Amino acid sequence: MINKLCIIGVGLIGGSLARALRAAGHVHEVSGYGRSIANLQRAVELGVIDRVEVSLADAARLADVIVLAVPVGGMAEILQQLAPLLTDQVIVTDVGSVKGAVVAAARAALGARFPHFVPGHPIAGREQSGVAASVPDLFRHRRVILTPGTETDSTALARVRTMWEAAGAETIELTAEDHDRILAVSSHLPQMLATCLMDLVVRHDDHRAILDCAAGGFRDVTRIAGSDPVMWRDICLTNRDAMVNALRQYHAELRDLISAVEKGDGEWLLATFSRAKHARDGLNKKN
Q: How far, in Å, are 3, 165, 184, 226 from residue 94 at the CA level?
A: 18, 15, 18, 23
- Which residues within the stretch 102-141 sit at the binding site for a second copy (CB under 8 A)? 123-125, 127
Q: Are 8 and 34 in contact (CB under 8 A)?
A: yes
Q: Estimate the crossing angle of helix 240-263 against helix 189-202, to 10 degrees.
A: 60
Q: How far is the CB of 199 from a second copy (least distance, A)?
A: 4
Which residues in the 252-281 window bind a second copy by CB under 8 A?
253-255, 257-258, 260-262, 264, 266, 269-270, 272-281
Q: Count residues contacting a second copy (CB under 8 A)? A: 92
- Which position among 31, 39, 93, 187 is part of the footprint of a second copy (CB under 8 A)? 187
- Can you tell me which of 22, 113, 161, 181 binds a second copy, judged by CB under 8 A? 181
- The answer to whether residue 98 forms part of the interface with a second copy (CB under 8 A) is no
Q: Is 55 helix (H, G, I), strand (E, B) or coil?
A: coil
Q: What letter would DSSP give residue 106?
A: H
Tell the smallest beta-carbon distance from residue 189 to a second copy (Å). 7
Q: Which stretch binds a second copy (CB under 8 A): 42-50, 111-119, 146-154, 196-204?
A: 196-204
Residue 168 φ/ψ region, left for φ over 0, alpha for ψ in the -120 to 50 degree band, beta for the rest: left
- Contact pick of 76, 85, 104, 197 for a second copy (by CB under 8 A): 197
Least separation in angstroms between CB 208 and a second copy: 10
Per CB under 8 A, does 214 bind a second copy?
yes
Residue 177 is a binding residue for a second copy (CB under 8 A) = no
Q: State the minimum distance, in angstroms, from the CB of residue 243 to a second copy.
A: 5
What are 6's strand-pairing partners? Answer: 31, 66
| Number of neighbours of residue 287 by Cβ within 10 angstroms | 5
Q: What is the CA radius of gyration of the chain?
A: 21
CB-wise, 51 or 181, nearer to a second copy?
Answer: 181
Check if the beta carbon of residue 256 is closer than 8 Å to that of residue 263: no
Q: With binding defined as CB under 8 A, does residue 219 bind a second copy? A: yes
Q: Which is nearer to a second copy, 94 or 234 (CB)?
A: 234
Residue 30 CA to residue 20 CA, distance in Å, equals 11
Q: How far apart (Å, rounded) are the C-alpha atoms in residues 81 and 67? A: 14
